[in-house]
Structure 1
Amino acid sequence: MAAKIKKILIPVAVVAVAIVAAGSLSSLRKPPEKKEEQRQTILVTAQPIEQQDIVYRIQSQGTVKPRLETSLVSEVNGRIVDVADSFIEGGFFNAGDLLVRVEQADYLTNVKAAEASLANAQAALEEEKARGRVAEEEWRSFTDGTAPELGLRRPQLAGALANVRSAEAELERAKRDLARTEIRAPYAGMVRSRAVNLGQFISRGTSVGVVYGTDIAEVRLPITDNDAGFIQLPQSIDDPVKPEVMLTAVVSGVMSQWPARIVRTEGVLDERSRVIYAVAQIEDPYRRNTSGATPLRFGRFVQAQIMGNATSDVVVIPRYLLLAQQQVLVVDTEEQLQFRDVVIERSDEQFAYIRSGFLDSDRLATSAIANPLAGTQVRIAGTDNATELAADKDGGAAVLTSQVKE
C-alpha cells in the first residue's frame, strides 16, 4: 500500500516543481521594449515658380511646293529638231535657256514673204505720195480754190498707207511665229516632267512639259483660331509684317533646318478643318546659289515653328502638370500639398503658360502623386529633414535621427 502511494506522489511532486520553476523564470523575463511607430511623410520633388518673358512659338506643318509651276505648250506646228540636255525630269535650267526647238524652215520663209509684201506696200505708198503731189501742182496751175480730196488722190494715199500697215503686221506675226519655234525657260527652275522628244511632230496647243521655279518655294501652314491670336499675321501682300518661321525635317537621317517667312494668308477659313492657312516662303530652296547647304526639295513634309507675339511675366509649366478644372498642385510654406486655381493664357502639346494664380511662397510639385489631397504633409527631395523619436524606458533614452538627401 505504501509503495503504491509513493509511486503516485513522486510524479505529482515533479510536476509541481516544474510549475514552480516555470513561474519563477517567467517572472524574471524582461518584457519587450515598446517603440512608437512613426509614419513617414510623402517624398516629392518641387521647384520654385518663376515668371518669364517669352516669345510664343506656334507649331504647324505642311508640304513644300513651288511658287511657280508652268505647263509649257507649243504655239506652232512642226517637227522637233533640238532638245536641251537639261530638259529632262529633275534637270535644272536658268531663265531664257533654250529647252525645245521646232523646225524653222517654213517660218523663215514666211518672214521673207512678209518682208517682200511690206517692201511692195511701201513702194506703192511712195508712188501714191508722188502722184498726189503731181495732182496738187496740176490743180493749182489751172485754177484757184480748194482742190477736192479725190482730185488730190487722198483716198488712194490712205489705201496705200493701210496696205503698208497690214504688211507690217504680217511681218510682225511671221517673226513672232519664228520666235515661237524656240521654247525657252520663262524663269530659273527645274523640269518636273517632259512630254515630247526629238523628231516628234507637235501641233499648236501640244503640251511639251511642266517646269517648276526654284527661286522661291512655299509651304501652306494651317493655324487654328486660338493660335492665330498669338501671331501677328500679314493682312495683305504689301504688309511689312512677315513673321519668321523655322522649317525642320529629317534628311538622310540628319535633322535639317531652313529659315522662312510668312508673306500672306489665304484669307478664308477651311470649311472642314476650321483653320486658316498662312503661306511661308523660302528663298532658293534647292540652294543653287549656296554651296554645301542642304536643299529643301519640293514635296517634302516639314515641321514649322512660327515666331509669335512676345509676352512677359508668365509661368511656363509642363502640360502634364495641369490638372482638371485648371488647377495646379503646389507645396506651400508649411510643406503641405495645395491646389491652386490658375489663369491659363495659352497651352500647347508640351507646355501650359499661366498668367496668374500662384502665391509668392508656392513651389511647383513635379512628382506624380496618386490621389493627392490638400493639406497632405510632404518631404521635398533635395532638402535635409530631421525626425527625432525620443523614448524614456527603464531610465534610458533612445534618440533616432534620420536625414534624407536625394
Structure 2
Amino acid sequence: MATKKQKFLPFLILLISVGVAIGFVMLKEPPEEKVPEEFVQVVRTKPIEVTDLVMTVNSQGMIMPEEKTVMVAQVGGKIVKLAPAFRRGGMVKAGDVLAWIDDSDYQTQLVEAQANLASARAALQQEKAKGRVAEVEWEQITNASPSELGLRKPQLAQEVARVRAATAGVSRAERNLSRTQIIAPYDAIIDTRNIGLGSIVGSGSVIGELSRTDIAQIRLPIADKDMGFLNFQGIDAKVTLSALFNGVPTQWQARIVRNEGIIDSKSRMNYLVAEVVAPYTLEKPLRFGSYVTAQIDGIVIPNASIVPRHLVEARGLAFATQDNKLHFEPVSVVRQQGDNVIIAGDLSNYRNIIVSALDAPVEGMKISVMAESSAQDAQSVAVSEAK
C-alpha cells in the first residue's frame, strides 16, 4: 500500500510547476504598444492655368454671294456679239457689256422719233406765231372781247402736247436702243449663260445669271443656348473661317453684320450673317459654294480655367495646398467643351490641381505630392508592363 507521502507527491509537483509558471509570467515585461501609422495618400498634381478666357461659339455654313441677278433681255432681236468674259466663271466689272443685240431696227425707230419731234416743234413755233398775229388783230377791235379760240390758245396747247409726246417717243427709242446692250450691274462672276452667238431673244428672255463679288456672306446657325456667350447678340463679332483651299487648311477673317432675329421653325436655330469683303481679291480667294467652319469670338470670362470634366465634383475642385493638405475649392461650371469644362471662381490662392484618383478624400487630410519625374517614371513603367 502507498504511503500518504507517495499520494500527495504528484499534487505537490503540480503546485510547484504552476507556481514557477506564474512567476515566469509575472517577471516577463509587457509588450510595447504600437502607435498606428497615419495613412497618407500619394497624389499627382499639375499647375492650373487661370486667365481671362475669350468664349467662342462654333458654327458652319456655305459661302454665298450677297446678291444674285438673273439677266433678262428687255428688247428682242438677234445676238450679234458676246463679251469674252461672258461665260461660266468669267469675272466682269460693273458697266461691262456682256452681250449685244442687233440694234438696226432700234436705230431706225430712234431716227423716226427724232423726226417726229422736229416736226412737232416746228408746228409749235408756227402756232405760237399765229397766236401772236391773232392777238394783234384783236387789239384793233374795240367793240368785242377775244375768246380763247380766237386767240388760238387751244391750238397752241394741242401743239405743246404733240411736242411732249414726240419727246417721250425719242426717250423711249433711246432707251430701247440702249437696251440692246446687256450690261453688268456690278462686279460679278458669271454663274450661267443661256444664249449663244446668233441666238434670237425676245423681251423677257433669260440671258444668264451672275453673282456679286464685292461681298460674300455666310449664314451661320447658332443654338439658342450659345447665344448667351456672344456680345450684343453677336453683332460686329469677329469670326475666323476655316476650310481647305486647294487641299491646304486655310483661314479667313469675317465679321457678323446682322442677326436675323428669327428662330428657324425647323432647325430651332438662330441665324447670324457674317460678311467677307472682296472675297475673290484675297491672296487665297474665298470661293462661292465653299463649306467653311466658323469660330465666333464672344464674351470674356475673367479668372477662368479649362479642366477635365471628371475632376469637378460636387464639393468643387481638389487642390494640394502649400502644406500638403487636401482642399476642395467650390467652382462654377460655365460651359462644357467635349471632355473638358470651363470653370470660373476665385482660384488665386491655389496653384496645383490634383489630377490623380483620390481614395475616400476628406477635406484637410494630409497628402503626399508625387514629384513630376517620379510621376513620369511611374507612367513609363505602367506603359511597359501593359506592353
> 1:133: Cα distance to partner?
0.5
Q: Are 1:346 and 2:346 counterparts? A: no
> 1:321: Cα distance to partner?
3.7
| TM-score with structure 2 setting the length | 0.79
Q: Secondary structure of the residue that 1:222 maps to in structure 2?
A: strand
Letter of the 2:186 counterpart: Y
- Once the two structures are superposed, residues 219-274 of structure 1 have per-residue CA deviations (whole angstroms, 9 ceiling, x without a partner) of 01112222222212469xxxxx6121111112223221111111111111112222
> 1:152: Cα distance to partner?
0.5
User: Would the aligned equivalents of 2:50 and 2:347 in 1 still touch at CA under 8 Å?
Assistant: no
Q: In the alignment, which residue of structure 1 is the partner of 2:352?
A: 363
| TM-score with structure 1 setting the length | 0.75
Is the alpha carbon distance of 1:79 and 1:405 closer, same or farther for their aligned partners in structure 2, counting shifts above 3 Å?
Answer: closer
Q: Secondary structure of the residue that 1:142 maps to in structure 2?
A: coil
Alignment of 1:209-220 (within 5 A): 209-220=208-219
Q: Secondary structure of the residue that 2:239 maps to in structure 1?
A: strand
How many Å separate the matches in 2 of 1:68 and 1:275?
Answer: 24
User: Would the aligned equivalents of 2:302 and 2:344 in 1 still touch at CA under 8 Å?
Assistant: no
Q: Secondary structure of the residue that 1:155 maps to in structure 2?
A: helix
More deviation, 328-337/79-88: 328-337
Letter of the 2:105 counterpart: D
How many Å separate the matches in 2 of 1:383 and 1:87?
Answer: 68
Q: In the alignment, which residue of structure 2 is the partner of 1:113?
A: 112
More deviation, 211-220/309-318: 309-318
Q: Secondary structure of the residue that 2:279 maps to in structure 1?
A: coil
Q: In the alignment, which residue of structure 1 is the partner of 2:284?
A: 294
Q: Secondary structure of the residue that 1:316 maps to in structure 2?
A: strand
Letter of the 1:62 counterpart: G
Q: How many residues align?
A: 340
Q: In the alignment, which residue of structure 2 is the partner of 1:71?
A: 70
Is the alpha carbon distance of 1:330 and 1:252 closer, same or farther for their aligned partners in structure 2, counting shifts above 3 Å?
Answer: farther
Alignment of 1:75-154 (within 5 A): 75-143=74-142, 146-154=145-153
In structure 2, the gaps of 5 or more residues are 1-36, 381-387
Q: In the alignment, which residue of structure 1 is the partner of 2:12?
A: none
Aligned sequence identity (%): 37
User: Would the aligned equivalents of 1:322 and 1:352 in 2 still touch at CA under 8 Å?
Assistant: no
How many Å separate the matches in 2 of 1:55 and 1:302?
Answer: 21
> 1:278: Cα distance to partner?
0.7
Is the alpha carbon distance of 1:298 and 1:338 closer, same or farther for their aligned partners in structure 2, counting shifts above 3 Å?
Answer: same
Is the alpha carbon distance of 1:333 and 1:169 closer, same or farther for their aligned partners in structure 2, counting shifts above 3 Å?
Answer: same
Is the alpha carbon distance of 1:48 and 1:77 closer, same or farther for their aligned partners in structure 2, counting shifts above 3 Å?
Answer: same
Paired residue for 1:248, among 219, 242, 245? 242
How many Å separate the matches in 1 of 2:232 and 2:278?
Answer: 23
User: Would the aligned equivalents of 2:61 and 2:218 in 1 still touch at CA under 8 Å?
Assistant: yes
How many Å separate the matches in 2 of 1:246 and 1:305?
Answer: 5
> 1:132: Cα distance to partner?
0.6
Letter of the 2:355 counterpart: T
How many Å separate the matches in 2 of 1:366 and 1:286?
Answer: 49
User: Would the aligned equivalents of 2:301 and 2:344 in 1 still touch at CA under 8 Å?
Assistant: no
User: Would the aligned equivalents of 1:344 and 1:356 in 2 still touch at CA under 8 Å?
Assistant: no
> 1:333: Cα distance to partner?
5.9
> 1:358: Cα distance to partner?
5.8
Q: Are 1:258 and 2:257 counterparts? A: no
Q: In the alignment, which residue of structure 2 is the partner of 1:311?
A: 301
Q: In the alignment, which residue of structure 2 is the partner of 1:9?
A: none
Q: In the alignment, which residue of structure 1 is the partner of 2:183?
A: 184
How many Å separate the matches in 2 of 1:405 and 1:125?
Answer: 107
Is the alpha carbon distance of 1:249 and 1:378 closer, same or farther for their aligned partners in structure 2, counting shifts above 3 Å?
Answer: farther
Letter of the 2:252 counterpart: W
User: Would the aligned equivalents of 2:63 and 2:292 in 1 still touch at CA under 8 Å?
Assistant: yes
Which structure carries more relative contact order (alpha carbon 8 Å, separation 6+)? Answer: 2
> 1:347: Cα distance to partner?
3.1
Q: Secondary structure of the residue that 2:262 maps to in structure 1?
A: strand
> 1:42: Cα distance to partner?
6.7
Q: Secondary structure of the residue that 2:130 maps to in structure 1?
A: helix
How many Å separate the matches in 2 of 1:140 and 1:74?
Answer: 59
How many Å separate the matches in 2 of 1:169 and 1:271?
Answer: 51
Q: In the alignment, which residue of structure 1 is the partner of 2:273?
A: 279
User: Would the aligned equivalents of 1:234 and 1:263 in 2 still touch at CA under 8 Å?
Assistant: no
In structure 1, the gaps of 5 or more residues are 1-37, 236-240, 386-402
Larger fraction in helix: 2
